[in-house]
Structure 1
Amino acid sequence: MAGAFGAASDDPPAKQWQGIITSCEKLSVSKDETVYRFVLEPRFAAMKHFQTSRLFQHQTIPDIVAAIFKHHGFSGVDYRFQKSRSYSVREYVTQYLESDFDFINRLCEEEGIWYAFEQHEQHGDVVVFGDSPEHYLRSQGLPVSYRHHVGLESVGTEALFNLSIRHNPIVEGIRTADYNYRSADTDLFAETDNKQSEESADNTVLLGKQQHWGLHPKTTDEAQVQTTLLNEANLCRQTIANGSGNVVSMTPMKVFQTDVSFPEAPDGWLVLSMEHSGSRDTAYSHTFTAIPAQLAYRPERTTPRPHIDGTLPARVTAAENCTYAYIDDMGRYRVKLPFDLDEWSPGGESRPVRLAKPYAGPEYGIHFPLHEGTEVMLSFVQGNPDRPYISGVMHDSAHTDHIPADWNTRNVIRTWANNKLRMEDLQGQEHIKLATDYQKSQLNLGHIVDSNRNKRGENGEGFELRTDGWGAVRAGKGILVSAQNQDANGKVLDMDDAIAQIEQALSLAKSLNKAAQTANNHNTDEETQRGRLKDALKDLKEAGLIQTAPAGIATATQQSQLHTANENIHLVSGNHTDITAGQSLTAHAAESLNLFAQSSGIKMQANQGKVEVQAQNDELQLNALKDATLTSSAGKVTIAAKEEILITCKGAYIKLSNGEVEIGSPKVVRVRAPLVVNGANGIKHKISDFKQNYSGGYIIYDEKTGLPITNLPYELTTENNEKLKGITNMEGKTIMAFTDKPEKVKIDIQKHSSERKRTLYFAGVESMDLYLEWTENEGAQ
C-alpha cells in the first residue's frame, strides 16, 4: 500500500510513502463524500503484533535482527545493515514476552544502532540500519533555503520556514562497572570524561555524572564500548534543533545543509523525526527535529528490558548418551525453559547456567550433581532474562520426593546411585545411617533398624560398621579400643582403667621374677614392657593399639591366628593362663625355654606316645629338694651314658666307666643275695647322635652416625633360596637365620627403603658365614 502528497494531476506525487495499513476509520459520511482516516506504517511495524518468548545463542545483535526479519519473510532487499565496527557475539539473548518490534528496538538501542526507511518504487519501504555518521543518508543537491515564515506563502518554492535551537547541559562523564564470574579478578570498570582541557573551553555546561551497573559486559573492551555508547547518546542531545518547512526531499536520518550557516552544525543537520501535513486546501509542510550532523547519533534507551520477578521452572538437559550429570568445568548446567519452543541439539538448549549452593569457596563447597530431567527453579540477576541461575531444585510428579509422608521424622540425603546419609529424629529410635550399595558398606549409629523400621535384633543398638568387601581401620597416632563405660563428655583417650590393669599385671610379673631369680631361673622382660607402657602406650604417646574390656575379650576364627611382635610378647594373667590344642602344642625359642612354677609344681604328662627330654649340646640336670622317683609302670628303666655313669650317696658310689664297674664305700658294702661270678660280658646300648644347628643374624648400622638403623625392611636368603623377610628392631638387629650346616646367608635391603643409598655394615655370629654386598639393580645386599 502507498500513500502520497501531490497535485490533482497525472504528475507523479511530490512525496510518497509505502507500507501497510494498520488502522482505518470512517470519520464522516455525506451525500458528497465519505471521509476516512488511515494509518500507514512501514512493514516493520507489523512486528508489533507478534509477541513471543525465545532464545538466541552465540549470535551478534545484527545477526539476531536479520534472523527475525527472515522469520517474517523479509528478503535481502527489504533491509540493509551498515556497520562500522565488529560486534561482540552474545552468548545468550532472551526475548521474553516481547513483541518482535520491541525486541529489535531494545537490542538496537543497547548497541547504539539506529534505523531509517528508504522508499523504493520496486521494493517498497526498505529498513536501513546504521551505527555511524558515515551511514547517514545524504544528497548532492543544493543547500536548503532558509526563509523565515512571515505569513506569506511562496507557492512552489521549497524552504525552511524557521529553525529554533535548544542547548542542553550534558554530564561530565559516565562510569560503568560490572562483575563477570567467569573472570572474577577482571576489573570491568570503564568511564568517559567530557571535560575539555583547553583554557578557553567552557565546562560550565557539564552537569553531574552518571554511573551505570549491570550492562553485562564480558571484557574490559566491551565495558569501554558500552560506556562510550552511553556517552555518545548524551552528547548527541546537547544541541537540538526544531524547525518547519516544506522541503519534500527531507527525511529522517538524512543530512541537509542550509544556505545560512549555523556554528552548531558545521557539517549540516541530521533529521531525527518529522511530522508531515497537507490537504486539498493546505499546501504540504512539515515539522522536524534535528541534531548537528557531525555527532554520532545513538537512539535513547526507551524500550524497557523485560524484568522477571520471581522464578521460572526449567528442566536440566544433557548431551546424548550422557549417563551422569552434564556439567562443564565451572559446574554449570544446561536447561530447557518451558517457553522455548525451538529445537536445539541435546545439551545445547541454553547457556551454561550456574547453580546457587548453600556453601562454596576456593576448591571446596557442597556439590550434588543434577541429572537430566530434574526440575529446577531459575532466578535472574537483577531480573535480567539474559542472566539466569539455578536458585532451587524441585520434585514433581515425574520425579517424586524420596521421603514419603509417613517418614516425616527422617532427614535424608540420597544420591542418584543410592548413596545415602539418613538421620532419624523419631523419639526412641534416633539413629544415623551412612551407606552405599557397593558391597553394602554401612555405618549405623544409635537405634539400628531395617528397611521396615524394625529393630535389627534384640541388641540392635549402639553402632555397626559393616561391608561385604574388605575393611581397614587405621590411625597414624594410635588406636584405643575400649568397652569401658564412659560419660559422653569424658576424655577421648581415657584409658586409666586399662593402664591400671596392665600395671597390675606387670607388678605380678615383677613379683614372680624375684621368685624365679631366687630359683636361678630366668626373668621375664617386664621392665622393657613397663618402659613401653610409660613412654609409648600410655595416652598413646606413640602409635600403639590398646584393647580393653571389663567383661573379657574373645577372638575366634575357622582358620589360624597369628600373633607376632618384632620385639617381645608378654602374656600375664591374674589367675590362670590356659592353652589347649586339639592336636599338637609346639613352642620354639631361638635361645632358651624357661618354665617356673612358684607354689604348686609342674606336671608334664603324655597319655599316648613317648616323653622325650634332650639336652642336645649341653648337660641335663634333674634336681629335687625331696625324693626323686624314676619308675616304669609296665616296662624297664634303662640308664646309659657314653663315657661314665656314677651313682653316689653319702660317699658310697657305683661307677661304670671304660667297661668297668667300680663299687666304693667308706663303710660296709653288704650284698644280700647269692653271688654268681662268671666270665667277662658286656651290653652295647645305642647312644643318640644329636645334629648340629647353625644360626646367625645381622646388626645394621649407619656408618656416618654409628647408630643402629631401626625399622629397616630387609630380606634374608639362604643357599636353599629360603627367604626370610622382616624389619630391623630397636637395636638394628634382624631375625636369626637357622641352618643345619654352615652356609652363606645374603641380606637384601628392600628397594623402596630410604636407606638404599646409605653405607651399611653388619655384625654377625661366628657360627655362620654372613656377607654384605651391593647390587646396583636391587639395592644393598
Structure 2
Amino acid sequence: AKVVGPSGEEIHVDEWGRIKVRFLFTRNDDHSHDGGAGANDNDTDSAWVDVLTPWAGEGYGARLLPRIGEIVVIDFFDGNIDRPFVVGRIHEGHRSPTKFDHVGKLPDTKKLAGIKSKEYQGEGFNQLRFDDTTGQISAQLQSSHAASQLNLGKLSHPKDKAESEDRGEGFELRTDQWGAVRAGEGLLLSTYKQDQAQGEHLDAQVAKQQLEGNQNNAKALSEVAKNQQTDEIESLDQLKEFAEEIESDIAKFNKAMLLLSSPAGIGLSSNEDIHLSADGQINQFAGDSINLSTQKNLVAHVSGKASLFAAQNGIKQVAAKGKFEVQAQGDGLDLLARQGIQITSTEDRIEITSPKEIVITAGGSQIKLNGSGIFPVTSGKFEVKAGQHLFMGGAKSNYILPELPNIQYAYSNKLDVFNLFKPSELKNIEYSILHNNGKVKKGTLDQYGRTDRIRSHEKEKVKILIGGDEWHYYIENFGGSKDENTFIQFLDFLGAAIPNLIFQLSDENNKIILTGTTDKNGEAVFKCPNVNFPLLSVKSIIDNEFKPIIRIENNYVREITLISPKILKDIDLFQDSEEKGAYRRSNYSGETSFNDGEN
C-alpha cells in the first residue's frame, strides 16, 4: 500500500501515530460509487491504520512515522481484513534506498548502515550513520543544518563508493555556526592517555599532583622572599584550595571548575585578542621560565602594590631606545645595595636636583647642599686639587622640577570593625566590597580591623561583606507532622536580622524545589517539600551564586536559626575635600559611628 494524506501535506497521522493508505491494487473504476474513496490518493482512501514499531511504551519508544508517498507492507490481525496494520516499508524499484550525506548508491555503499531522516517539506536531513568499512570504521551523528556533526572513530570523507579518503582519527565535534560545551558540576579537558577507557571518568590525579607540586615550589620561594623582607605570594592558599577541590578517591570535582590538563603543552592562539578575566586572582606558576614577548607595548596597571623579587642572578631592565623613567609619585624612592652603586652617563651629564636638600655621606664625612649653602664636614683631611682656585660672589642656581601627576578620587571612605573582633581574630579576616556598578574588590582587614580606603570617582553607597564562610545553626522543635510549617530565621553573627535574603531548597539531584526571600525580621515560613534531606542554599550578594548551608530532615525539623559568619555594612563614600581621612567605625549594637581621623 501507499501512504496517503491531504493535498500539500507530507506527514499525516492522528494522535496515535496511525496513517492512511491506498492499496496498490485499487482502481478508480472500482471506486466511483463513493466519490473515488479508496483510490483517490488522499486521506479518504482508508480508515486509520496502526503502524508496527519495535518499541512502544507509554509516552516513550521508537517513532519513525511513514510519510505520504512511501510504500508500506500491510498485514491483518488474525487474517481479518477489517484490521490492517503496517509491518514495514520497502523502497520498491522506483524509490532509491537511503543515501547517507546525499551521495553514493548501493551496492557501492553497502558497508554503511544507519538512519537518515528528511526535513519536512525541505531538503535538509538528520542522520545516524555507521561505517563498517575495513580500516575505516566510524560513526556519525549529523544535522545537515550548518554541517553540525559528531564524528567518531577513523574519520573519512562521505562515501560515494566503497572507500573514501581518510581525514583523521579519534573524534570531531563541529559546526559551521555556534557551539557551546556546558557541565554544571565541572569540566575536565585532558590529553593524558587512558588506554581502552580503563580509568575513572574524571581522573585528574596527574593534574592535581602537578598543581600541588607547583604550590609547594612557589611556597618555598615565597618563604625566601619573606626572609629577604619583600612580599610573599598571596595566591598560595587559593592554589592549594583549587587542587583540593579535585578529589582523588572518587574522581570528581567539589566545585564547578574547568580544568585543562596536558602532558605535552597547552597552546592558545588568535589572530585577534585573547582576554583573561577573574573576579579573584589569576595565578601563574612555572617549573621553568615564564617568558613574555610583544611586538608593541607591555603595560601593567595595579590598584595596590607591584612587587618583583629575584632569588638569584639579579634583575636587569634595559631600554634600548627611549627614556628609562622611575617615579614615586606619592612617596619616596629607595635604592639599596649590599655592594657598590654605580651611576654613569656615557654621553651626557648627570643631574641631581632637590628643592630642599642633598646630603652625601661616606665614612663619617659629609657634604650637605641646601638653600643656606654648601657645608662639607669631615674628621679627616679636606683636600682640593684644581688648576685654578676662584672664589666669587654668591649666586643662586635656578632649576625646574618636573611635575608629578596627582591622581584624585573625588569620594572615599573606609570601615573599622576593630570592636567586633578579638585582636587575635583580626588576622586574615577577608572582606568584599560591592560597588553600585557591580564591581567587586576583595581584601583583608589590617591589624586595626580596617579595610583599605575605598575610592570612587562618584558619590555612592557601597556594600561591605566581612567574615568567614562557615555558617552556624541550632535546631528546635523536632516533633510535629509533615503538614506543619517550617520556620527559618537568618541572623548575622551580631544577632541582627538579615532581610531580603534569597534562599532555595534543592533535592539530591540539585533540582530546585523551592525558592523564597526572608522578611524584615530575617524570617521565612514554608511547607517543607516531601523530599529527604533537601539542601538549603542562600544567594550571595557578591557573586549572585547560591552557597549551600545545611541539609534539612523534613520529617522532624520545624524551627531553625541560622547564624551567618559575615557582617554586611552599607557605607557612603564622602567627598575627600569635606571629610578627608574620615572612616566609619562599627560597634556591637550594629550602629556605625563617624571618626574624623585615621587613628
The answer to whether residue 391 in structure 2 is matched with residue 677 in structure 1 is: yes
Secondary structure (helix, strand or coil) at the match of 2:108 reads helix
**Larger RCO of the pair (alpha carbons < 8 Å, separation 6+):** 2
Q: CA deviation at 1:396?
A: 1.5
Answering whether residue 184 of structure 2 is matched by residue 455 of structure 1, we say: no
Secondary structure (helix, strand or coil) at the match of 1:405 reads coil
Q: 2:16 aligns with which of 305, 319, 330?
A: 330
How far apart are the structure 1 equivalents of 2:65 and 2:143? 17
Please list, as runs of the form range in 1=range in 2, the aligned pairs for 1:687-706 lying within 5 A after superposition.
687-694=402-409
CA–CA distance in structure 1, aligned partners of residues 57 and 453 of structure 2:
57
Give the aligned partner of residue 615 of structure 1: 328
Q: Counterparts of 2:431 and 2:184 in 1: how far apart (Å)?
A: 18
The answer for the alignment partner of 2:570 in structure 1 is 762
Asked if 2 retains the 8 angstrom alpha-carbon contact of 1:641 and 1:687, the reply is no
Count how many residue pairs are aligned between Structure 1 and Structure 2.
435
Q: Secondary structure at the match of 2:206?
A: helix
Counterpart for residue 147 of structure 1: none
Change (3 A) 1:532 1:466: same
The corresponding residue for 2:508 is none
| RMSD over aligned Cα atoms | 3.6
Matched, 1:570 2:283: yes
Q: Which residue in the other structure is 1:7 paired with?
A: none
Superposition map of 1:349-748 within 5 A: 349-402=45-98, 404-416=106-118, 417-452=124-159, 453-457=163-167, 460-487=168-195, 488-524=197-233, 525-535=235-245, 539-673=252-386, 674-681=388-395, 682-694=397-409, 716-717=436-437, 725-726=438-439, 743-745=458-460
Name the CA shift for 1:469/1:601 in 2 (closer, same or farther; >3 Å). same
Letter in 1 for 2:307: N
Alignment of 1:89-238 (within 5 A): none
SS in structure 2 opposite 1:507? helix
SS for the counterpart of 2:220 is helix
CA distance in 1, matches of 2:15, 2:413: 59
Letter aligned with residue 497 of structure 1: V
Q: 1:448 Cα deviation (Å)?
A: 0.6
Structure 1 position 592, deviation (Å): 0.7
1:556-612 CA distances to partner (integer Å, 9 max, x unpaired)? 001100111111111111111101111000111111111111111111111121111
1:21-40 alignment runs, 5 A limit = none
Residues 649 and 320 of structure 1, relative CA distance in 2, 3 Å threshold: same
Q: Distance in 1 between matches of 2:431 and 2:398?
A: 58
711 and 632 in structure 1: CA distance in 2 versus 1, 3 angstrom threshold = closer
Shift of 1:420: 0.8
Contact 1:432 1:446 in 2 (8 A): yes
Q: Residues 500-537 of structure 1: CA distance to partner in whole angstroms, max 9, x if unpaired?
A: 21122112211110111111111112122112211357
TM-score of the pair, normalised by structure 1: 0.51
1:45-97 CA-to-partner distances (Å, cap 9, x unmatched) read xxxxxxxxxxxxxxxxxxxxxxxxxxxxxxxxxxxxxxxxxxxxxxxxxxxxx
In structure 1, what is the Cα distance between the partners aligned to 2:143 and 2:60? 23
| Equivalent residues of 2:279, 2:440 under 8 A apart | yes
CA contact (8 A) 1:536 1:543 kept: no
For residues 267 and 292 of structure 2, the distance between their equivalents in structure 1, rounded to whole angstroms, comes to 14
Letter in 2 for 1:492: H
Report what 1:302 is aligned to. Answer: none
* Cα contact 1:698–1:764 (8 A) shared by 2: no
Letter in 1 for 2:22: K
Calculate the TM-score normalised by the size of structure 2: 0.66
Give the 3 Å change call, closer, same or farther, for CA 357–715 of structure 1 in structure 2.
farther
Bigger shift: 422-431 or 400-409? 400-409
Asked whether the 8 Å contact 2:49–2:84 carries over to 1, the reply is: yes
Residue 329 of structure 1: how far off its partner (Å): 2.5
Name the CA shift for 1:476/1:523 in 2 (closer, same or farther; >3 Å): same
Other structure's SS at 1:568 match: coil
Deviation at 1:370, TM superposition (A): 2.2
Deviations 1:686-730 (A, max 9, x none): 24233124386999xxxxxxxx99999x7744xxxxxxx456879
Aligned partner of 1:105 in structure 2 is: none
Q: Identity of paired residues, percent?
A: 28
Q: Is the contact made by 1:536 and 1:544 (CA closer than 8 Å) also made in structure 2?
A: no
How much has 1:395 moved relative to structure 2?
Answer: 1.5
**Residues 596 and 677 from structure 1, CA distance in 2 versus in 1: closer, same or farther, beyond 3 angstroms?**
same
Contact kept? 1:642, 1:687, Cα under 8 Å: no
Contact 1:425–1:431 (CA under 8 A) maintained in structure 2: yes
